């Protein structure tokens, strides 16, 4: 049997806790000194926690009440819904555009050093082959390689096969169009996020002011910005560039990177051959192809000639409908002197080349921006 061991009993001296005097409203009958100390410590801790928790709230309240604010304010839920997705589409502002502001970010391309060597057609074809980028796979996978070329190859006009020439042209400009649409998609998400807040930060206000300038919006009208800041169907952009450049073979495309035949009456441009002496317009010239694409998007999204185009697009958005290039093409009759005939040609190009296959393709991510969008 195990022996029981008796341990000596140790007598500890009694500790006397200091007597704490509490205010009268904290005195309760029957509370001893230990509980008083515990209660006082807990109360002090609670006051400290509340102080650090409430101080930022008071600072924000002070700024909202006393600091003059110039940001866009959403005064009620109904106003927010009206701005974002109201069923009634009001007319956008009829502003006189300041082209210097609208195209300022496009003019900045002039300062960017470009490749001194223009890749020839065979090199570009090999590049596409090496990266496994071909339109047949794109139509199936709905994914596009992020190959960004700055210039068209001069040899494109010498390719005898019409199909081969068209495919090469589409392969070159498709990533450029998708990149521009991605940027607009990202901007729209940011715009809607800002509108969902009751107040905006300084960086958000600065961004909004920049976008108001880029889209020619005066009086900080959010509805006009929402209508103008929107995507253009890929198939429509391809069709217009094909029509304006003869599938990349025109002098304007090869010498001036002009994919959409936009006119200018001042500044850098290419004079059309055979133009009358009294005609002062030129075709806009760009440093790189991407600048031409951005100028085209900005043109359709701001110029008064395409107000009905934007109105129809906005109505489709509010009805949660897919943007249809064949329907939108009808509203581009003022893009060319031939009017309605021009729109019919665009629709024919879209149908004959099955360009709507590219309307739902995505650009494979090569940046954090695209990763956020996809």
pLDDT, tens digit (0-9, with 9 covering 90-100), for 252-309: 999 999 999 886 756 677 777 765 555 667 788 888 999 999 999 999 999 999 999 9
| 170, 231, 234, 260 from 237: Cα distances, Å | 11, 10, 5, 9
pLDDT digits (tens, 9 = 90+) for 182-226: 999 999 999 999 888 878 889 999 999 999 999 999 888 999 999
Quote the CA–CA distance of 98 and 340 in Å, as a whole number. 28
Nearest alpha carbon to residue 332 among 323, 343, 322, 341: 343
Residue 36 burial (CB count, 10 A): 19
Nearest alpha carbon to residue 301 among 178, 170, 184: 184
Residue that has been written with the tokens 């064949």 in this structure: 326
Asked whether 127 and 348 are in contact (CB, 8 A), the reply is no
Structural domains for the chain: 77-84+93-373 (1.10.530.10)
**Length, in residues, of the chain:** 374
**pTM higher than 0.75:** no
């Amino acid at each position: 049997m195990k022996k029981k061991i008796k341990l000596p009993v140790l007598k500890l001296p009694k500790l006397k806790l200091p007597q704490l005097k509490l205010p009268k409203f904290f005195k309760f009958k029957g509370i001893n000194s230990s509980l008083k100390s515990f209660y006082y410590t807990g109360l002090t801790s609670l006051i400290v926690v509340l102080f650090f928790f409430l101080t930022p709230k008071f600072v924000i309240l002070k700024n909202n009440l006393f600091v003059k604010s110039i940001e866009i304010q959403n005064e009620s839920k109904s106003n927010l819904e009206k701005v974002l997705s109201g069923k009634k589409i009001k007319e956008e502002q009829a502003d006189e555009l300041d082209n210097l502001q609208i195209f300022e970010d496009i003019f900045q391309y002039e300062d960017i050093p470009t490749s001194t060597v223009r890749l020839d057609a065979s090199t570009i074809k090999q590049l596409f082959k090496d990266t496994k980028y071909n339109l047949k796979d794109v139509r199936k996978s709905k994914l596009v390689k992020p190959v960004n070329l700055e210039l068209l190859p001069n040899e494109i006009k010498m390719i005898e096969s019409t199909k081969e020439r068209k495919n090469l042209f589409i392969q070159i400009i498709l990533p450029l169009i998708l990149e521009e649409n991605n940027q607009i998609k990202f901007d729209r998400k940011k715009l809607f996020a800002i509108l969902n807040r009751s107040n905006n930060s300084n960086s958000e206000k600065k961004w909004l002011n920049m976008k108001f300038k880029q889209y020619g919006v005066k009086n900080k009208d959010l509805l006009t910005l929402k209508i103008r800041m929107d995507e253009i169907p890929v198939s429509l952009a391809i069709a217009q560039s094909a029509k304006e450049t003869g599938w990349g073979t025109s002098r304007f495309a090869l010498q001036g990177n002009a994919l959409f035949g936009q006119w200018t009456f001042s500044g850098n441009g290419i004079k059309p051959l055979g133009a009358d002496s009294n005609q002062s317009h030129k075709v806009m010239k760009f440093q790189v192809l991407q600048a031409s694409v951005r100028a085209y998007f900005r043109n359709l999204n701001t110029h008064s000639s395409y107000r009905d185009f934007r109105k129809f697009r906005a109505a489709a958005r509010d009805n949660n409908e897919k943007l249809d290039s064949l329907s939108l093409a009808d509203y581009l009759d003022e893009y060319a002197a031939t009017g309605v005939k021009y729109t019919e040609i665009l629709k024919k190009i879209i149908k004959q080349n099955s360009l709507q296959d590219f309307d739902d393709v995505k650009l494979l991510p090569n940046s954090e921006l695209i990763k956020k969008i996809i």
